[in-house]
């Protein structure tokens, strides 16, 4: 973000009479208008008092003051004054990917303008800021430099609007222009929280827009004790006192937990801190790796002022491949590709209100004491243990077989401590994808499978189970995951010769029972005989574009072995209230209208991981009903049975469920759930289908406090309903959802 001179020393013109008609005074959340501006005061997490004063200067909204005090009678600590919001967007053109077009062509679906318009919004393999792009990756290449536009927000506010919304108060300023976007600036204060949300809510009329944004505050005064504090990727504490030269652009910090904290020091105004952070999950679009690209920034604008905020970089950085042999190492480098061509950005369909948010956290403590208070909103970036549940993740291409073949059976891979530090109990891997020899039908593949199984056994522990899964992508259509309750040797071919060369099942010395699949029918037979499960990976996008829609009438889809589809934050549209609303959740409801119980399994579908990556914010997980983690040699049938029964839920981690059930019958039905959340909650919903139509009942939760546990009850009429599910979403876009329960 380019330098902008701070304006904190200019005279302030008070807000023209604010519209207070939608404001309702209430305890712990008040708005008072005076000649000095609009003062919003609210009660924080420990009965602290917080204050933000807003004004307008020649059309420019100004945060005239941010302050906090520990008690209602204590002296105010000023955390910032004379601050102005800053936002910058970078936009490019959204294109359909070749990976989507290939399965659509194979299905005989013509790439009409209507199909392209629908499918391009599900693109993963797209990099709108990469010029000219790599041939063969997207429709309508090469990209042109003039497609990319970078714009700073300009403000033309003549008034503001104050609105009470449950336990929150919103102050909105109209007249924001942000390149091709236009809309309003909004601040939201939450009773019971020290958070202050700053966002631009804006839309564009242009077609095919993909974008990223940066947002923050400028005009902080450089004092002798001004210090920006953060933890580096190795969790070491770092700081900067603004003693260097002014910056032309924002300096991206590879800060641990996506968090930087401005410490005001211990001067005459008292000690205090102001943290800056992006939304914990909704801020991230899908990638193949979680390399920390630096999601917060500072910018020293002059010798007297600076800015801080949250940012999205413009390009990917490759992962660091591990391996000993030159051939394998070279291939992994090629797979990383440096310029991955899948830095897809956010979607901005015409007319949708995109919410570009950044959070500030006001604290009366120093930076190191403030850090755990902020991290409580993500449970310290750990998937919090919940009694009776175990945390399961799926679909990772770590090339375990090759790692062990290169480095020895006792090699410690970097992704293992990454998973353990996140609180993950069960991980399903997906070797034999771009690694090893997936289509070999003899001892070469079987030997590799043996290494895969043995490595999974060695890395499994008393509270950690590594399941050797596979994404065969052979005869069911699209991409899909196979998981068995124990190690199973099998091979697979697509489009086999007229006369099969190998029997479906045979016994081979050193391996025991071995299966050879060549058709959808015997793939299903394999799953039935070995009690395996299959689900569609990245349905309706990537290599599964058009699936499972194209196979919903097949025997394998109707089988109880076909579990459903995978859930991940792909694509990201900041106008949606739910993660993956238009693709994942729509498919979940469609599948259950088509057939018997089908579920969504949260997946990563990513590659190498390192402990210094920012993985938490880019991962959605499953909490599975299990009392304990099975030992590897016991088999993991309890895991698969719980998944097949729908005894699990999907979550980003900030919203957790402890139990849920349906009581009553017919018109007297109710969905009960005990829910825990961190960020201020937005709404809960019961969603149902009758076999054709999907509908829902929404329970507004904006009156609820953050960092709470509640028992929710949503009455609904089950008459004529085929299935029902429950979900809850918070104000930052995080959420949790149960699997559909079939009523008949």
Tokens 């489009």 -> residue: 495
- How many of the other CB atoms lie within 10 Å of CB of 387? 6
Superfamily of domain 387-653: Metal-dependent hydrolases (3.20.20.140)
Confidence (pLDDT) at 332: 66
17 pLDDT band, cuts 50/70/90, is confident
535 pLDDT band, cuts 50/70/90, is very high
Confidence (pLDDT) at 468: 98
- How many of the other CB atoms lie within 10 Å of CB of 25? 11
34 pLDDT band, cuts 50/70/90, is confident
Average pLDDT, integer, range 643-661? 98
- CATH classification of 654-744 is 2.60.120.620, yes or no? no
Average pLDDT, integer, range 41-49? 96
Q: What is the DSSP string of 72-131?
A: TTSPPEEEEEEEEEEEEEEEEE---BHHHHHHHHHTT----HHHHHHHGGG-SS--TTSS
Checking if the pLDDT of 3 tops 50, the result is: no
Confidence (pLDDT) at 104: 97
Q: Which of 37-51, 170-184, 487-501 has the lowest mean pLDDT?
A: 487-501
Confidence (pLDDT) at 613: 94
Checking if the pLDDT of 13 tops 60, the result is: no
Backbone dihedral region of 518: left (phi > 0), alpha (psi from -120 to 50 degrees) or beta?
A: alpha
Confidence (pLDDT) at 9: 40
* Beta strands at 599-602 and 562-567: parallel, antiparallel or unpaired: parallel
Checking if the pLDDT of 23 tops 60, the result is: yes
Per the DSSP assignment, residues forming a β-bridge with 727 are: 685, 737
Checking if the pLDDT of 226 tops 50, the result is: yes
Question: Secondary structure of 422-471 in the HEC alphabet?
Answer: HCCCEEEEEECCCCCCCCCCCHHHHHHHHHHHHHHHHHCECCEEEEEEEC
Let me know: does 743 contact 718? Beta carbons within 8 Å: yes
Q: Which sign, positive or negative, has the C-alpha torsion 240, 242, 244, 248? A: positive
Range(s) for CATH 3.20.20.140 in the chain? 387-653
Checking if the pLDDT of 339 tops 80, the result is: no
Torsions phi, psi for 367 (to 5 deg): -65, -45
- 453-476 pLDDT, tens digit per residue, is 999 999 999 999 999 999 999 999
Tokens 């589809």 -> residue: 565
Six-digit token pair at 488?
């199973």
267 pLDDT band, cuts 50/70/90, is very low
Distances 718 to 199, 594, 670, 703 between C-alpha atoms, Å: 39, 18, 9, 27
Confidence (pLDDT) at 460: 97
- 144-193 pLDDT, tens digit per residue, is 999 999 999 999 999 999 999 999 999 999 999 999 999 999 999 999 99
Confidence (pLDDT) at 375: 98
270 pLDDT band, cuts 50/70/90, is low
The CA distance from 453 to 404, in Å, is 11
Distances 492 to 471, 500, 503, 658, 696 between C-alpha atoms, Å: 11, 12, 12, 40, 42
Checking if the pLDDT of 212 tops 60, the result is: yes
502 pLDDT band, cuts 50/70/90, is confident
- 682-737 pLDDT, tens digit per residue, is 999 999 999 999 999 999 999 999 999 999 999 999 999 999 999 999 999 999 99
Q: Which of 385, 418, 278 is nearest to 734 (CA)?
A: 278
Q: Which of 478, 495, 365 is nearest to 439 (CA)?
A: 495
494 pLDDT band, cuts 50/70/90, is confident
The CATH T-level fold of domain 19-90+150-377 is: Beta-galactosidase; Chain A, domain 5 (2.70.98)
7 pLDDT band, cuts 50/70/90, is very low
Q: What is the DSSP string of 291-335?
A: -----EEEEE-SSSEEEEEE---SS--------SSHHHHHHHHHH
The CA distance from 578 to 572, in Å, is 10
- 577-612 pLDDT, tens digit per residue, is 999 999 999 999 999 999 999 999 999 999 889 999
Which residues are CB-neighbours of 6 under 8 A, at least 6 positions away? Answer: 82, 84, 218, 219, 220, 221, 301, 302, 304, 305, 307
Confidence (pLDDT) at 365: 95
Range(s) for CATH 2.60.40.2060 in the chain? 654-744
- 71-96 pLDDT, tens digit per residue, is 888 999 999 999 999 999 999 999 99
Confidence (pLDDT) at 557: 98
Q: Which of 378, 213, 385, 216 is nearest to 308 (CA)?
A: 216
Confidence (pLDDT) at 316: 87
- 102-152 pLDDT, tens digit per residue, is 999 999 999 999 999 999 999 999 999 999 999 999 999 999 999 999 999
Checking if the pLDDT of 509 tops 70, the result is: yes
- 562-585 pLDDT, tens digit per residue, is 999 999 999 999 999 999 999 999
Give the predicted TM-score (pTM) of the model: 0.95
């Amino acid at each position: 973000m380019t330098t902008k001179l701070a304006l904190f020393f200019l005279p302030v013109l008070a807000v023209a009479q604010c519209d207070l008609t939608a404001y309702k005074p209430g305890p712990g959340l008040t708005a008072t208008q005076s000649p000095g501006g609009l003062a919003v005061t609210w009660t924080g997490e420990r009965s602290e008092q917080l204050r933000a004063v807003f004004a307008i200067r020649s059309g420019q909204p100004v945060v005239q003051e941010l302050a906090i005090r520990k008690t209602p009678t204590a002296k105010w600590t000023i955390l910032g004054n004379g601050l102005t919001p800053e936002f910058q967007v970078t936009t490019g053109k959204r294109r359909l990917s070749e990976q989507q077009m290939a399965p659509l062509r194979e299905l005989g679906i013509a790439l009409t303008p209507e199909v392209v318009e629908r499918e391009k919004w599900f693109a993963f393999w797209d990099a709108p800021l990469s010029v000219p792009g790599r041939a063969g990756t997207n429709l309508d290449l090469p990209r042109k430099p003039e497609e990319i536009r970078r714009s700073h927000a300009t403000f033309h506010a003549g008034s503001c609007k104050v609105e009470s919304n449950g336990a929150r108060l919103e102050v909105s300023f109209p007249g924001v222009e942000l390149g091709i976007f236009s809309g309003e600036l909004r601040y939201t204060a939450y009773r019971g929280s020290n958070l202050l949300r700053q966002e631009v809510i804006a839309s564009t009329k242009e077609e095919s827009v993909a974008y990223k944004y940066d947002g923050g505050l400028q005009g902080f005064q450089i004092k002798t004790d001004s210090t920006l504090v953060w933890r580096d990727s190795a969790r070491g504490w770092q700081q900067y006192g603004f003693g260097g030269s002014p910056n032309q652009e924002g300096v991206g910090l590879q800060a641990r937990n996506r968090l930087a904290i401005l410490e005001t020091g211990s001067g005459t105004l008292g000690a205090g801190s102001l943290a800056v952070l992006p939304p914990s999950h909704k801020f991230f679009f899908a990638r193949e790796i979680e390399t920390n690209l630096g999601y917060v920034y500072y910018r020293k604008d002059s010798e007297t002022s600076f800015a801080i905020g949250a940012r999205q970089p413009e390009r990917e950085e490759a992962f660091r491949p591990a391996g000993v042999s030159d051939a394998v190492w070279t291939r992994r480098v090629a797979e990383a590709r440096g310029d991955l061509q899948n830095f897809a950005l956010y979607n901005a369909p015409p007319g949708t209100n995109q919410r570009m948010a950044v959070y500030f956290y006001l604290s009366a403590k120093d930076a190191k004491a403030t850090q755990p208070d902020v991290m409580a909103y993500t449970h310290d970036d750990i998937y919090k243990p919940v009694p009776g549940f175990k945390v399961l993740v799926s679909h990772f291409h770590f090339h375990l077989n090759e790692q062990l073949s290169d480095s020895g059976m006792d090699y410690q891979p970097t992704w293992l401590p990454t998973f353990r530090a996140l609180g993950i109990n069960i991980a399903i891997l997906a070797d034999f994808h771009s690694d090893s020899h997936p289509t070999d039908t003899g001892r070469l593949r079987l030997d590799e499978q043996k290494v895969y199984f043995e490595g999974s056994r060695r890395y499994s522990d008393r509270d950690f189970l590594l399941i050797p899964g596979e994404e065969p992508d052979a005869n069911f259509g699209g991409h899909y995951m196979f998981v068995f309750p124990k190690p199973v040797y099998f091979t697979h071919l697509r489009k086999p010769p007229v006369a099969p060369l190998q029997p479906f099942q045979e016994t081979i010395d050193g391996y025991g029972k071995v299966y050879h699949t060549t058709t959808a029918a015997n793939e299903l037979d394999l799953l039935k005989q070995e009690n395996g499960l299959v689900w569609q990976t990245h349905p309706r996008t990537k290599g599964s574009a058009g699936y499972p829609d194209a196979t919903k009438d097949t025997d394998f889809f109707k089988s109880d072995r076909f579990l459903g589809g995978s859930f991940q934050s792909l694509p990201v549209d900041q106008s949606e209230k739910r993660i993956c609303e238009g693709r994942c959740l729509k498919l979940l409801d469609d599948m259950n209208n088509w057939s018997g119980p089908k579920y969504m399994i949260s997946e990563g579908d990513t590659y190498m991981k390192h402990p210094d990556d920012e993985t938490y914010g880019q991962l959605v997980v499953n909490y599975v009903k299990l009392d304990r983690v099975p030992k590897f040699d016991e088999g993991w049938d309890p895991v698969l049975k719980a998944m097949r029964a729908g005894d699990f839920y999907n979550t980003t981690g900030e919203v957790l469920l402890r139990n849920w059930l349906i009581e009553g019958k017919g018109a007297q039905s109710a969905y009960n759930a005990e829910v825990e959340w961190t960020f201020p909650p937005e709404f809960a919903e019961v969603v149902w289908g009758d076999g054709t139509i999907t509908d829902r009942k929404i329970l507004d939760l904006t009156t609820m406090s953050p960092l709470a546990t509640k028992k929710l009850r949503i009455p609904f009429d089950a008459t004529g309903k085929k299935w029902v599910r429950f979900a809850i979403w918070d104000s930052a876009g995080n959420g949790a959802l149960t699997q559909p329960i079939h009523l008949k």
